[in-house]
Structure 1
Amino acid sequence: MIPFMLDVTDKPVVIVGGGEVATRRVHKLLDAGAQVTVIAPELSAQLEAWEAAGEITAHRRGVRKEDLVPAWLVMEHTGSAAVQKMVEATCLQHRIWCLLGGNPADSTFWNMATAHHGDLTVAVSAHGNPRRAKQAAETLIKHARQQDL
């Protein structure tokens, strides 16, 4: 793995899953300007609100292979091994960046924990350990604040 930042502005991103983790991912993607489509039988209240406001597109059903092909980036957060396997195979076949929730070993990218201070962004990976990465990012940004970086 190599760390880098992605510009997702106006890029089609598909989120498979409609729960709490998917909602957090969508929030960050909207802030970054992505065109987000969520595919899940059920959506969180926040996802429903974003759909009602026209900020995301949502399909209340299971994911299909053809849903993934137009995407530039896919994030899967269903907890279903069968769905993960299909998403992984489809994304690999079509060379689509793919994050499989809870399965960093089979993902083609990982989210990095981030913390901000002014225009400084710290991004940390702990190779699949999100809690450790978040703690490290927060510690580093706290140090940056103390040093007025």
Structure 2
Amino acid sequence: MRYFPVFLDLNKKAVLVVGGGEVACRKVDMLLRAGANVTVVSPNIHPHLLSLSEQQALLWVKAFYQSEMLQDYIQVWATTDNPQLNHQVHHDAKQKNIMVNVVDDKPYCDFITPSMINRGRIQIAVSSGGASPVLIRYLREKLESMLPQNLSLLADFGASKRNSIKESLASVDERRKFWERFFSSAKIPTITKREQLESLYLDTLQDKVEVTSVLHWIQFNHDVENLSIKALRLMQESELVLYPANCPFEFVDLCRRDADREEYQDIHHLAGLIEKAKANKLRVCIFTANDPIASEMKLLMGNDKLIKIAE
């Protein structure tokens, strides 16, 4: 992984953009949507930026860039068509420990901007680290076609219930399982109004489910693409992931990001980990590679759920 993915809070933060052309327009629009206080330095600017300046959406400094201008900014963008000037901006920013991006010049970038999909509060970022922009555009188009348009509505509703649901469901596990049932409802894809969500919310809340331990056994092989959709869903729901040393990282990495992960040494070690998981009422994903272990697993797990992925 060449770049560490992160979402920056730029709301009311000072950001400097050097250059006023079409490239600057794209970056400024993105920064303004994030709530940044944008200053553009350029002797001339694009009509779109001029309009934003007249609306006081940004500050236009009508001048050539000077090193002394780098004061109190947390982020700097160099967007001119003059490589020498862009590199000077980069040098000045580094001297002041300010994060800088020289557009389309990756060696002079502390960060890069991914391809973004926005659905209100929901943001999805896709990047190849600058290696293949066309491929990333293709992936973004595929994702755009798959994601429902009501995601923004769903996110706003979920945010509005973060405090009130605690009055009905005391534990984190209960609330997580509630939201899993809520968002997996067959009605969700067709909902377009908040009133419909409110009705579904109340119906789901009345159908309380006791928190219990659930164990899922997934037999892996050499190809992660053999995983079924059901297996992927169960892996994403797991709170604990148990795997042997020979389990490819690609399988473990597809599990829920905040799940605890633990490598087991043998069947006896695994048995102890399973007992602890049951005592703590955890949802567990257990990876195994061979049938001898699998047969012993059936004895260990009793009537718990078993999911096997064919090789």
Give me the TM-score of the superposition, normalised by structure 1: 0.90
| 1:96 lines up with 2:113 in the alignment | no
| 1:139 lines up with 2:142 in the alignment | yes
| 1:117 lines up with 2:151 in the alignment | no
What is the rounded CA distance, in whole Å, between the counterparts of 1:61 and 1:138 in structure 2?
Answer: 39
What is the rounded CA distance, in whole Å, between the counterparts of 2:77 and 2:144 in structure 1?
Answer: 27
Map of 1:76 onto structure 2: 78
| 1:3 lines up with 2:17 in the alignment | no
| 1:39 lines up with 2:34 in the alignment | no
SS of the residue 2:64 aligns to: coil
Instruction: Name the CA shift for 1:99/1:117 in 2 (closer, same or farther; >3 Å).
Output: same
What is the rounded CA distance, in whole Å, between the counterparts of 2:23 and 2:111 in structure 1?
Answer: 16
Q: Which protein is richer in strand relative to its size?
A: 1
Instruction: Name the CA shift for 1:68/1:134 in 2 (closer, same or farther; >3 Å).
Output: farther
Map of 1:16 onto structure 2: 18
Q: CA deviation at 1:81?
A: 1.5
What is the rounded CA distance, in whole Å, between the counterparts of 1:64 and 1:19 in structure 2?
Answer: 18
The two structures, once aligned, show a CA RMSD in angstroms of 1.9
The residue type paired with residue 42 of structure 1 is N
The residue type paired with residue 70 of structure 1 is D
Q: CA deviation at 1:12?
A: 0.4
SS of the residue 1:115 aligns to: strand
What is the rounded CA distance, in whole Å, between the counterparts of 1:27 and 1:138 in structure 2?
Answer: 21
SS of the residue 1:145 aligns to: coil
What is the rounded CA distance, in whole Å, between the counterparts of 2:90 and 2:18 in structure 1?
Answer: 12
- Deviations along 1:8-46, one digit per CA (max 9) or x if unpaired, are 001000001101110111111111111000011211111
| 1:67 lines up with 2:69 in the alignment | yes
Q: CA deviation at 1:127?
A: 1.5
Instruction: Name the CA shift for 1:55/1:142 in 2 (closer, same or farther; >3 Å).
Output: same
Larger mean Cα displacement after TM superposition, 65-74 or 118-127:
118-127
Extract unaligned runs of 5+ from structure 2. 150-188, 190-311
Q: CA deviation at 1:75?
A: 0.8
Map of 2:255 onto structure 1: none
> Once superposed, which parts of structure 1, at least 4 consecutive aligned residues long, lie more than 3 Å away?
129-132
What is the rounded CA distance, in whole Å, between the counterparts of 2:120 and 2:45 in structure 1?
Answer: 33
Larger mean Cα displacement after TM superposition, 134-143 or 9-18:
134-143
Higher relative contact order (CA 8 A, sep 6+): 1
Give me the TM-score of the superposition, normalised by structure 2: 0.45
Contact 2:87 2:108 in 1 (8 A): no
Map of 2:229 onto structure 1: none
Instruction: Name the CA shift for 1:43/1:122 in 2 (closer, same or farther; >3 Å).
Output: same
Aligned length: 148
Q: CA deviation at 1:57?
A: 0.7
What is the rounded CA distance, in whole Å, between the counterparts of 1:131 and 1:25 in structure 2?
Answer: 19
SS of the residue 2:10 aligns to: coil
Quick check: which has more Rg, 1 or 2?
2
SS of the residue 2:147 aligns to: helix
User: Which of 56, 75, 83 is the equivalent residue of 1:54?
Assistant: 56
- Deviations along 1:91-143, one digit per CA (max 9) or x if unpaired, are 11111111101101220011111012354321011212444333322322322
